[in-house]
Structure 1
Amino acid sequence: MLQLSATFDLQQDVVSSIFKKEATVGIIKEYSGIVDTRILNIERDGGVLYSWKGVTGTTRIGKYDPNTRQNKLLYTFDKQVCVSSCSLNKEETLLAVSLAQRTRTEERLRPVSKCLTLLIEIHPINNTKVLKAVDCRVRVQFLHPDTERDSVLESHLLLVAEDGYVEQLHVMLVRQEGYRVVMLNPECLARDRVAEEFSWVQWDSQTQRLFYLTHREKAVLKCVQFCHDRNCETLFELVLEVPSNPFSCMRFVNLGFDHHQETQHEREEMRMVVITNNTGSMCVCYSQPACVNQEITYTIVLVHRGCSKTFSVALDGTPSPCSTDLLPLFIPIGYYVVVYLSGHFLHCINTRQQELLCHSLFLSGVDAELGVLGSDGVVLSLPESSLLDLNTGRMYTVDLNPSFLMDLLHCSHRRPDAQRLAALHCLLLYMGPNAALELKIIDWICDNVMPFDTFDQIQEFILASLYRIIYKKCLSLDEVLPYSSVFEKKKVPEALDQVPGVTCTTELHAEPEFKGKARSLQGYWEELQWSTEKMKYFEAVPNPRYRASQNLPDWTKLLTTLKSKNKKASNYLRHIEENTKQVLLMVDSWNLDQKVVLLFQEEDSQQRALIGLMVDKLREHLNRHLPRLGKKKIDVLVVNYVAKLLELIRRMLESVWLKYKLGPLVLCL
């Protein structure tokens, strides 16, 4: 189901590279004893920070650049130290490091802090400043804001402490002698308190957002957005229905990898992650370990939909009591969230169309295996659809596998209709646009015309393909445009809304509170806020989805108008014809090279009138329900939508004509 592509291998990309480099300069002896090579952090640019120890008693920190595939030595400690957290500023002039300090037997009488946090000048190597010397773990993370300037003489560093607080340090820099970059006033670094009193925290490097969970009277998820102008603000709060104390110790997500944490911190009481999509969706995913009841439960809070879905899956075999091995991974892939439990199941959840289980794909047994990952490894889900196997030091990008999905459609043994429908939507929505894949699906439809009692595969192909061209435009289009023919049925078949061994409960969720500046921001926050507010409107409006069947009365009137000589009727027909010309102009630019079936010709007045009417009614529908999009954007969207509809019909007919070697005159019959 999932296709894993290796993007980084610690042994091949780092260790072997160090051997080769040092062999050329004749100091291979030191590196022949390379030990304890570990990944520390992954920065926004994809750079991998790592450390290693040599036999001479040093600890070194380096960076692997995925673009150049080169390694760069950043800093060397003259003794062996335990690096628990590390981050590099965007300009690669400052290195922040947290060291886990272990007291030797003979030094136990001397007080030594458990964590020492340092800020080091490395361009060139110069001063070192102690930022923290405390008895709790501290994670460090530089901000990497979007900026067009190549060199910025200001860096911002987050210190995230296990005691439940986050500080932001503002480090002013100065350039000396043309190349030396040093701290302007290292003794007086400005700092702000960003957050406090929390038990879970997640950093999103790509969006520069910090999520954290507080527990006072109730569990509240908050989000701090960092901007390029050094400002930050809490923009979002959401009450969550989670256990009263889900974390007995601090949980860090996407804040590097601490290989020296105490053993009592290794066991997770609950796994939680926030997944956002640039189209304006937000999902809060959490799960607790499976216990002796042989059932695992996980919840997906669809913030943009105002509801949460809790799934309970019966597991095969008897799991060990509350084993951390039985905590699923939550992997974002587009607007799907993949819930993966090694050796048990893989659940690909559609977070935009959550009404029916048949639009999410559930697999178990052999179908759910990811053979590349070690069964006994510690696998972490990273942003940007990536996985990290900490035991092997390998990173993978994760994608849906089109070959596997096509096999689900073609497989000879009986597959549930819901599984095939979900596979079809995954292929069309996530993989597209892909002309070769579309032709394979059309070929499958030709070989399996009308075998399903629960859904019409031709309608599903058309509607899902149409949805693909509009879903990135606006999240609320999900509610007003057709997505599946299943919604046209008076009663959804049980086979499409049930998965054996899986139960699902849906609950309305507390409305998020958008704070201060979020109301004036554009982009993601504007879209999320508007989507959550729009849900109230859609709940109050019956059947907000566009249905072509609603146009039948207007089509009957238009047929009468075509025969009329009334002047007003002529004006209306000219308007309809203008709509048609815009669509056909678009279709002509998309034509296949080989025109087998002659469609949409000038002399077919009724066909042209129907095309123009479709444009008119769809435009009217969107202007009524989503006026915020604006008339110009709606006009473009509608023309593209109808043009794509006609092109899909032409493509299906041409494929049939070629497949069965039909002559050009057959259509005339």
Structure 2
Amino acid sequence: MVTVDNFTSKLCAIILGKNTEDVANEWRLLGQEQDETLLFSWVQSSKIQKDVTKIGLYSFSTNDLTVIHTFETVVNCIQASIDSSKTYLAYVIKRIDPNDSKIFTYNPYLLKIGTKNEICDLDLERSKQILVQFLYQKYSVLSENSPVKFLILIHQECILQYQIKNDNELNAENFFYESLVRKFSWAQWDPIHQTLYYIHNRKPTRCLVEGEEETPPSLTSKTSPTLSGLQFHDDLPHESVLNIPLNLPHLSTVSGNCGIYEDDSVPLRIHDCSLDLIVLTNSNGYVCVCHHYLYQPIQPTTELKDDDTSLVHFAYSVTVLHQSCVIHCVVPGLPWSKAKTIRPLFKYHGDHMLVFIPEVCTHLLDIGAMHEPCCHVITKPLLTNLETHRLCLTSLVTVGSDYVINLATLDLIDMTMPTNLLVQTFKNNPHLGNKLSIIHYLILHRSEMEIVSELIAWQAEKPLSLGLPQFLREFLIGSSYASVQRNLPSDASHLVNLLPITTQHMGNEFEVRINDKMICLSQDVLWNASMMLLSPQQRIVPYRSDIWVKLWEQLAKISKGKQRFRPTQVVEKLLVSLVCYQPEALSRSSTPMSPTGSSAVLNDFLSIGNQCGRKLLDALPFYEIESCTASKQEHIISVNLRELSMHLLKQSAENKISKFQWQSQTPMHVHAVATRYITAQLEQSRYLCQILCKAATFDPRQELEKGFVYIEQLQEERRYILFTILERYYLSVESIAFPLPQGFTSFFAYLGYKTLSFDMFLQYIQRNVLELQVDVMKIIMAGEFDLRLKENTF
């Protein structure tokens, strides 16, 4: 959200500390390595010597800058890489024709660091972009005979792997190379996982189905772009772990003539302006392919110029491989002159992906493995005080997951999503899906229950709004899941994934208006995503523990088709059972909330539920007491417990055959999860009732009376507001079969009696919205008797 540091000022301070007479400027980030060190270049000026370009190695943890090499003059070094032993430095010089900036050449060099600083020209001068990168071994301690390997990437030509012995002098005869890739259009290096991604054209695999006619060879010669991944190892050959057929819509439709390179070294990518694509991974097995492009729905007849104001569509797609889906976003109606300067940022943000589109919006895409990706948040842009053309944001491994660096200014910027921006979006944006996603995000991913309570109370000020019951349901389901997740033993964690977590569904399409721009979000499912991966048994080292095995495991879980528990299962059961519901026939010892019930279940309830439950007893406007033999609450709890236990047992038995899930879930685990979830249902239902009552009329710090007396003392207007809000609460709870707090049924029935006309009150009774228990019947009959006596209408 704000600039927290600037690398230029920090590095200049280090230079000044070593030599106060020198001046350093024109700083440039040349690359980052697996050991989190950063390579910078700068032009150093002094009164004695002429200006020269230097390359230095910076450690963020120690704040130390070490000069690696000093050129004799000022050169345009665009990228560099250093090996793990800090013995060799590879760098690329870009020479631009002084008469025509569109004519340039790239030259890679290899330098042996030492007193002589031996330099070897690799003799690969090209007009296409060239990048270099050393391979890092898993173990930092290398033997004397360990070969040093580095890659040279030449755009649209080839990717070469060079190898050199540490004890040899640096010349062309003492190292050899091999060609890894031919004819690629895009490439990216992942320094953390030592993976090379590249896009090349390949023919589709021909496979015939029974009854299908064979396609003539002339029709199968067409190639399609494919994203492949090469995984490198220490002492083993590299292996192709990934092959994804790509759908690159509107490629180069409005880009015009290309061949323009940005020469950004982080992340290390080879690409021109025709294809802006980035692959993001992390150690949990998350793999996302992000593609940004511009297009016009109607193809223009003339090529767009730089200052053209014609409207284009700004779009991106994120292929969430570990969730086997693709998320599409389109922002229509941006002028071409502005849209072509916007460079979106894609970065991981916890269990989400943060997509920042300068001057347009910020997206939080829910792509974590906790549940299906369906709760996406769209807000206003995070950064509003920086010009678009001065923004070139990228993530650094060194500085943490919440920060990015602006390559144009070397500013370090905090990209944490502020809570106040989410609150502002919730209150100002009318889109229901966006609001539900914000509630889900604050509960499940930020644990901001107080903020959510304030938002629910704010929404309750408009009790007649159509979205209020959905907000209440989202709160109940999300907060119950979060409560169970916090209090569950680790050995029963697999069963948590079978509990309901949100009311939203995967694949929902919605449109959100931010700053007068309509943003359209949609989602598609990938078909058989595991076929794009090399299976664990086909690896060079079978079942090697890395991100690709974790990705395979995640896709295997998705293919199993596990089903979360649906509250509608209980609702359907209750529709039948409540017709013949007889409280006096229900044993009080058969439900976990009964005072005389099972001691083990009751202890669980007291230890988990009463952490906040006792605090709520005095915060509700009614007494949590029911006079009937067995309440409706106990019946609902009993059905919930039975249905949930059966669902967990069935799903855990079906998923136990997975090779990667060695630990099966016992009935004791099922009992623990089911009991804690039912307990959480009741507690969150109580908590929500407290929030709504306080938002309506009731303040426990001022109100002295409770129950029926409190209703009698309420003014008519306040009584109507309280009834309207509690009616929405009752309908929300009933629709997902959550239990109501004890005493609510009688309180709500009497509140309806005092608020509604008598004829309307009878309709509520006949429709089973209001329930007449003994305590309510007594006071209503007594009141009606007194009224008839006064009016003499017997």
With the shorter chain as reference, the TM-score category is 0.7 to 0.9
* CA contact 2:565–2:644 (8 Å) conserved in 1: no
Structure 2 match to 1:398: 415
Task: Tell me the residue number matched to 2:200.
Answer: 214
| Alpha carbons 2:81, 2:90 under 8 Å: kept | yes
2:41 alignment partner, one of 39, 43, 51? 51
Q: Which of 354, 362, 383 is the matching residue for 2:378?
A: 362
C-alpha displacement of 1:235: 0.6
- Pairing partner for 2:320 from 302, 314, 335: 302
Whether the aligned pair in 2 keeps the contact of 1:154 and 1:172 (CA below 8 Å) is yes
Letter of the aligned partner of 1:159 in structure 2?
A: I
Q: Name the structure 2 match of 1:324.
A: 340
Separation of aligned partners in 1, 2:15 and 2:64: 10
Structure 1 position 220, deviation (Å) = 0.6
- 1:180-219 correspondence runs (5 A): 187-189=173-175, 191-216=177-202, 217-219=223-225
Conserved 8 A contact 1:98-1:140: yes
**Partner SS state of residue 430, structure 2:** coil
Give the alignment of 1:510-549 within 5 angstroms.
Answer: 511=528, 512-515=531-534, 516-517=538-539, 520-532=543-555, 535=558, 537-538=560-561, 544-549=563-568
In the aligned structure 1, how far is the partner of 2:343 from the partner of 2:249? Answer: 16
**Which of these residues, 133, 141, 146, is aligned with residue 124 of structure 2?**
133
Cα deviation for residue 300 of structure 1 reads: 2.5
Specify which of 156, 159, 176 is matched with residue 149 of structure 2.
156
Q: What is the SS of the residue equivalent to 1:156?
A: strand
Asked if the contact 2:294/2:312 (under 8 Å) is kept, the reply is no
Corresponding residue of 2:71: 77
Q: Given that residues 203 and 209 in structure 1 are in contact (C-alpha distance below 8 angstroms), is that contact kept between their aligned partners in structure 2?
A: yes
Measured in 2, the distance between the counterparts of 1:320 and 1:430 equals 38
Query: Which has the higher relative contact order, 1 or 2, with Cα contacts under 8 A spaced 6 or more apart?
Result: 1
Q: Which residue of 2 aligns with 1:289?
A: 294
Q: 1:159 to 1:587 in 2, by over 3 A?
A: farther
Output the amino acid matched with 1:426.
Y
- Cα 1:311/1:54, change in 2 over 3 Å: closer
Partner of 2:761: none
Structure 2 SS opposite 1:74? strand
Q: Give the Cα separation in 2 of the matches to 1:530 and 1:16.
A: 48
Structure 1 residues 72 and 547, CA, compared in 2 at 3 Å: closer, same or farther? same
Contact kept? 1:615, 1:642, Cα under 8 Å: no
Deviates more, 1:474-483 or 1:218-227: 474-483
2:9 to 7, 12, 16: 12
Distance 1:343 1:96, change over 3 A: same
Question: How far, CA to CA, are the matches of 1:141 and 1:57 in structure 2?
Answer: 28
Residue identity opposite 2:139 in structure 1: T
| 2:404 match: secondary structure | strand
Q: Which residue, 448, 462, 483 being the options, matches 2:501? A: 483
Residues 97 and 551 of structure 1: CA distance in aligned 2, closer, same or farther (over 3 Å): same
- Cross-structure match for 2:19: 22
Tell whether the 8 Å contact from 1:97 to 1:140 is kept in structure 2 after alignment.
Answer: yes
What's the CA shift string for 1:148-196, capped at 9, x where partnerless? 759885543222222432223344436xxxxxxx879984335443333
Change (3 A) 1:250 1:35: closer
Provide Cα deviations, 1:113-168, integer angstroms capped at 9, x if missing partner.
94433333336665444444322432122234443759885543222222432223
Gaps of 5+ in 2: 203-222, 297-309, 619-623, 625-629, 708-740, 744-794
In structure 1, the residue matched to 2:676 is 643
Q: Distance in 1 between matches of 2:643 and 2:79?
A: 59
Q: Which has more strand, going by share of residues? A: 1
Instruction: Determine whether 1:420 maps to 2:435.
Output: yes
**2:263 & 2:190 partners in 1: Cα distance?**
9
Tell me if the contact between 2:53 and 2:74 (Cα under 8 Å) persists in the aligned partners: yes
1:459-499 superposed Cα distances (whole Å, 9 cap, x missing partner): 323433465687999999998542322459xxx9x9x8443
Shift of 1:393: 1.6
Q: Distance in 2 between matches of 1:256 and 1:497?
A: 33
Deviation per residue, 1:182-239 (Å, 9 max, x gap): 8799843354433332111112222222211112411111111223445421111011
> What are the residue-to-residue correspondences of 1:605-644 with 2, within 5 Å?
613=642, 616-627=645-656, 628=658, 629-632=661-664, 639=672, 643=676
Q: Distance in 2 between matches of 1:355 and 1:612?
A: 22
Q: TM-score, normalised by structure 2?
A: 0.64
Gaps (5+ residues) in structure 1?
Answer: 106-112, 175-181
Q: Report the 3-state secondary structure (helix = DSSP H, G, I; strand = E; otherwise coil) of the residue aligned with 2:151.
A: strand
Does the C-alpha gap of structure 1 residues 11 and 524 become closer, same or farther in structure 2, counting only changes over 3 Å? closer
Partner of 2:700: 661
Residues matched between the structures, number = 610
Residues 90/467 of structure 1: CA separation in 2 closer, same or farther (3 Å cut):
farther
CA distance in 2 between partners of 1:423 and 1:158 (Å): 44
Indicate the residue corresponding to 1:116 in structure 2: 107
Distance of 1:581 and 1:158 partners within structure 2: 64
2:139 equivalent in structure 1: 147
The alpha-carbon distance between structure 1 residues 647 and 508, as it changes in their structure 2 partners (threshold 3 A), is closer
Which has the larger Rg?
2
How far the C-alpha of 1:22 sits from its partner, in A, is 1.1
Shift of 1:77: 2.2
